[in-house]
Amino acid sequence: MKIFLRILTIIIILSFVSVFGQEPGITWSKFYRPNSTLGIQTMAVAYDGHQLPNGDLISVGMSVNPFIMAYIVKTNSDGDTLWTKEYFTDVFNYGSFTGTDIERANDGGFFIAGYGTRQATTGIWILRVDANGDSLWSTYYTGGNVDTAYITRDIENNSRQRNHYTWFSCWWNNLR
């Protein structure tokens, strides 16, 4: 009888493992292609993304067109493209930029962080865009070595002054 109960217990446990151990199904999968002005080796890679309160999604990555530039795509919850934007398309004035992170700002816009070059010097780019993806400002920091910005946050403090704290590799910078 003990052997029967042990075998029955093992069967019950294994049945739960097979039910709960399954991978979740893919809801949808789509390929997004940046707008190409030159049409040469255009590709996009999403590095980070967020679901917005209304169910829309926004992702950041890079586009090769033929130079590396930041690329973001906003989609609805079904993955249909609402809009796409490419930034730093003038490689001679801006250099290259690979977007590695995107964070939603308190006003509905976004901070885009990443790495790239400016006049052959490597560094970190921070780009601020509004809710429609239109560029508001950008800034470039360099420490002389290859840097990468991973995460940006928009934080309001108690004094009603808005401070933007950005984490770059191993140091903090306060942007106002």
pLDDT in tens, 59-81: 666 655 555 667 777 777 777 77
Instruction: Report residue 40's pLDDT band, with 50, 70 and 90 as the boundaries.
Output: very low
The mean per-residue pLDDT over the stretch 148-158 comes to 52
Strands in 110-118's sheet, in edge-to-edge order, are 97-104, 110-118, 121-129, 135-141
* 12 within a domain of the structure (yes/no): no
Q: Is position 149 within any domain? A: yes
pLDDT of residue 146: 58
Is the model's pTM score more than 0.75?
A: no
- 14 is a domain residue: no
130 falls within a domain: yes
Average pLDDT over residues 128-137: 87
Q: Smallest Cα–Cα separation from 72: which of 43, 64, 97, 62?
A: 62
**Model pLDDT, residue 42:** 36
Query: Is position 16 within any domain?
Result: no
For the chain, how many structural domains are there in total? 1
> Which strand ranges, in their side-by-side order, compose the sheet holding 68-75?
44-51, 57-64, 68-75, 81-87
Structural domain for 85, as ranges: 28-156+163-175
DSSP 52: -
| Structural domain includes residue 124 | yes
What are the backbone dihedrals phi and psi of residue 49, each rounded to the nearest 5 degrees, phi first?
Answer: -155, 160
Answer whether residue 4 is part of any domain.
no
Q: What is the mean pLDDT of residues 102-116?
A: 78
pLDDT at residue 133 greater than cutoff 80: yes
| The predicted structure's pLDDT at residue 53 | 55
pLDDT tens-place string over residues 85-101: 877 666 666 667 777 77
